[in-house]
Copies of this chain bind each other. A is one copy, B any other.
Amino acid sequence: MFKAKVLVKRRPSILDPQGMAVEKGAKHLGFNNIRETRIGKYVEFTLDLADRKTAEVELNEYCNKLLINPNLEDFEYTLEEI
């Protein structure tokens, strides 16, 4: 059994309107030192598999098919045996 923790980020070259909107809100509230806010996703799940190789294959497929938009986003992950 493995615990997967996945960070999903927009590619640096791709605008992040959500981050820009939140940062604009921050400026209105008086936060003047916040820059370059970018908002991605953080996904946790467990993989009920005994073998790390198989778990990595399933993790990558799950991410590419369901969790990320491969046109806009990249992901990185850690996989820890539990």
Q: How many residues of A contact B (CB 8 A)?
A: 34
**Which B residues are in CB contact (< 8 Å) with A34?**
45-48, 58, 62
- Protomer copies: 2
A49 and B33 in contact, given A22-B66, A26-B62, A42-B42 (Cβ under 8 angstroms):
yes
**A residues whose Cβ falls under 8 Å from a Cβ of B:** 7-9, 19, 22-23, 25-26, 29, 31, 33-49, 55, 58, 61-62, 65-67
Bound Cα distance from A31 to B9, whole angstroms: 23
Partner of A8, one of B42, B46, B47: B42
**Which B residues are in CB contact (< 8 Å) with A39?**
41-43
Q: Is the CB of A9 within 8 A of B42?
A: yes
